[in-house]
Amino acid sequence: MKVTAEKNEKIAKMTFASVYPHYINRLEKNGRTKAEFHQVIEWLTGYDEEKIQKLIDEKATFETFFQNAELNPNAHLIKGVVCGYRIEDIEDEFELYRQCRYLDKLYDELARGRKMDKILRQETK
């Protein structure tokens, strides 16, 4: 599927706080923890527990969420299909959409029980 400007704009305006409880609910149903999810978020964005909570309290949009993030240099290693979109094929003009899909992919892997060392990708030498 192709990302459109409308789709990119829609996700930019969504608040992280609006989907966060759904993330946590599914993870806990699958035997994973909020702490593990925060570890994944910290790996991807550099946000610690306190910053994550602040973004939730401020009802930050995904645009703000990723604008202020320091994306992990290995984020480009996140590949695969999420919501019908192949992450590595999302065009550069829709970088925000790609970043949101990075988070979704990591979240899905966590919920499905993948090992943390596989989720937190490292460059192979």
Answer whether residue 125 is part of any domain: no
Q: What pLDDT was estimated at residue 1?
A: 76
Answer whether residue 123 is part of any domain: no
pLDDT above 80 (res 115): yes
The residues near 18 (Cβ < 8 Å, ≥ 6 apart) are 59
- 3 token code pair: 């990302």
- Domain range for 66 is 5-116
How far apart are the C-alpha atoms of 79 and 121, rounded to whole Å?
A: 11
Answer whether residue 124 is part of any domain: no
* CATH number of the domain residue 27 falls in: 1.10.8.290
Query: Over the stretch 7-56, which tens digit does the pLDDT of each residue have?
Result: 999 999 999 999 999 999 999 999 999 999 999 999 999 999 999 999 99
Answer whether residue 11 is part of any domain: yes
Please give the model's pTM, rounded to 2 decimal places. 0.93
How far apart are the C-alpha atoms of 86 and 115, rounded to whole Å?
A: 22
How far apart are the C-alpha atoms of 16 and 1, rounded to whole Å?
A: 24
Q: Give the number of other CB atoms < 10 A from CB of residue 71.
A: 14
Q: Are 66 and 100 in contact (CB under 8 A)?
A: yes
* Structural domains of the chain, count: 1
